[in-house]
Amino acid sequence: MNEFAQALKSWRKTRRFSQLALAVEADVSTRHISFLETGRSSPSPEMILRLGDALQLPLAARNQMLTLAGFATRYPAREWSAEAMAPVRRALEHTLVGHAPYPAVAVDRLWSVVRMNEPARALFAPLSVGEGDSLIELMLSEAAPAIIENWPEVAHHAALRLRTESVALGGVAELDRAADALGRVPGYEPCDAGPVVPTIFRLGEVRLSLFATIAQFGTPEDLTLADLRLELYFPSDRATELALRAMASAGERTADG
């Protein structure tokens, strides 16, 4: 069995597909899938891309499959500053700025902050977190339980999300280690919660209860863009909304001098 055959079989099992199910999804014969997995048949680049679609593989995994089969990679990883990324940068900045006075950040696959808006800077500044820093490292530090009022609940749900993201990417050691650590945080007790689980920050006298939505760019053809996630925070109560608006107004007065 060659390396491509091993990788295909591994991904098929990770996605919990039988050979028949994958054959149906990729619109090929079960016999062809079997031959690819034993090395009796060699795939074309087009077949690899079709299997990637069927298995919903990350772009990095599709590149790896192409390389293992002896072909050139298909998906580039452009620098964020590249000219081709200019429309994406504008869209991202539009989203982040337009989300104010609520916090918003863009993070990569390992939860490192790529961009953040001004409300997010104000929110994370007391935690010494800015662009280039890792939200995973924050959650694994002593700062998180000290400032997050409902830390056991937040840690539990963060662990679930990290495990889900790791599985989707075929297993990421950094995400798995963080999930294991957060899953061991004591004190979590299942309860009848509301429609979302907020993160409740205590910043001195200020209490902020925030929930997040997660957005990403559709149909990415670039590794950098495929790994990008937008975390858009919203107030879960009226007091938090008023506090965020007050913080934004104070920041504007400071900027005006």
Given a contact cutoff of 8 angstroms between Cβ atoms, the answer to whether 212 and 233 are in contact is yes
- Give me the residue spans of the domains in the chain: 3-68, 83-255
| Beta bridge partners of residue 112, listed in sequence order | 134
Is 60 exceeded by the pLDDT of residue 197?
A: yes
Given a contact cutoff of 8 angstroms between Cβ atoms, the answer to whether 43 and 4 are in contact is yes
Residues 63 and 110: their CA atoms lie apart, in Å, by: 19
Torsion of CA 18, 20, 26, 28, to 10 degrees: 150
Strand bridging mode 229-235 / 113-116: unpaired
Predicted confidence at residue 154, as pLDDT, reads 95
Given a contact cutoff of 8 angstroms between Cβ atoms, the answer to whether 231 and 214 are in contact is yes
pLDDT digits (tens, 9 = 90+) for 212-224: 999 998 889 999 9
How long a stretch of residues is the chain? 257
Predicted confidence at residue 56, as pLDDT, reads 94
Q: Which CATH architecture has domain 3-68?
A: Orthogonal Bundle (1.10)
The counts of H helices and E strands in the chain are 13, 5
Is 80 exceeded by the pLDDT of residue 32?
A: yes
Give the rounded distance of the alpha carbon of 217 from its chain centre.
Answer: 12
Given a contact cutoff of 8 angstroms between Cβ atoms, the answer to whether 165 and 178 are in contact is no
Residues 57 and 145: their CA atoms lie apart, in Å, by: 35
- Band of pLDDT at residue 255, cut at 50, 70 and 90: low
What sign has the CA pseudo-torsion 119, 130, 221, 57? negative
Is 80 exceeded by the pLDDT of residue 250?
A: no
Residues 177 and 157: their CA atoms lie apart, in Å, by: 15
Record the tokens describing residue 111, joined without a space: 């939860």
E-strand stretches of 80-150: 104-107, 113-116
DSSP H/E element including 211: strand 206-215
pLDDT digits (tens, 9 = 90+) for 147-182: 999 999 999 999 999 999 999 999 999 999 999 999
The DSSP secondary-structure symbol of 55 reads H
Predicted confidence at residue 113, as pLDDT, reads 97
Predicted confidence at residue 248, as pLDDT, reads 86
Record the tokens describing residue 21, joined without a space: 């199910």
Question: What is the average per-residue pLDDT within 41-50?
Answer: 96
Q: What contacts 17, CB < 8 A, 6 or more positions away?
A: 25, 54, 55
CATH number assigned to the domain with residue range 83-255, chosen from the 4 options 3.40.50.720, 3.30.300.30, 3.40.1110.10, 3.30.450.20: 3.30.450.20
Neighbouring C-beta atoms of residue 13, cutoff 10 Å: 10
Residue type, 60: A
**Rounded mean pLDDT of the chain?**
93
Predicted confidence at residue 17, as pLDDT, reads 96
Q: Is 58 helix (H, G, I), strand (E, B) or coil?
A: coil
